[in-house]
Amino acid sequence: MLLTYKSIQLTCLDAFKMKGLRRFCRFHGQHGVKRELLNIVEVRKLAYYGHTMRKEGRCLEKEIMQGTMSGACRQGRPHTAWMDNIKMWTGLPVEESIRMTEDRDKCTKCVHGVAMRRINDG
């Protein structure tokens, strides 16, 4: 495997973070850190999804998230799509999750509900 400069930096940053946790917090292990990072990614991705779906008209970001771009697919296993993550995290069908984003309060409650469920699980 060819290591790029960016991947080396990320590895060094993760190592520094874990060293700090072990030294200052007397924390040994990685389970809590990974859960926290996954929770942050989910919350930010859901918030960005709601923000993008509330935009008026057609835009490139909406088309990318919904997977309606024209063109041929690449060979091999398909990558995990945005909508796959949204369906998995919210438990809602695509049409209902899009309707949910139209109401900002309902969308915010959904984002915080997913975050709290994740914290309680982990």
Question: b/e for 54-77, b at 16 or more Cβ within 10 A?
Answer: eeeeeeeeeeebeeeeeeeeeeee
Report pLDDT digits (tens) over 71-94. 777 788 777 777 888 888 888 888
Is 16 contained in some domain? Answer: no
pTM above 0.75, yes or no: no
Dist CA 4 CA 92 (whole Å): 38
Tell me what the mean pLDDT of segment 15-33 comes to. 71
Write down the residue that tokens 């900002």 correspond to: 104
Is 59 contained in some domain? Answer: yes
Range of the domain at 88: 30-69+80-121
Is 7 contained in some domain? Answer: no
Q: How many domains does the chain have?
A: 1
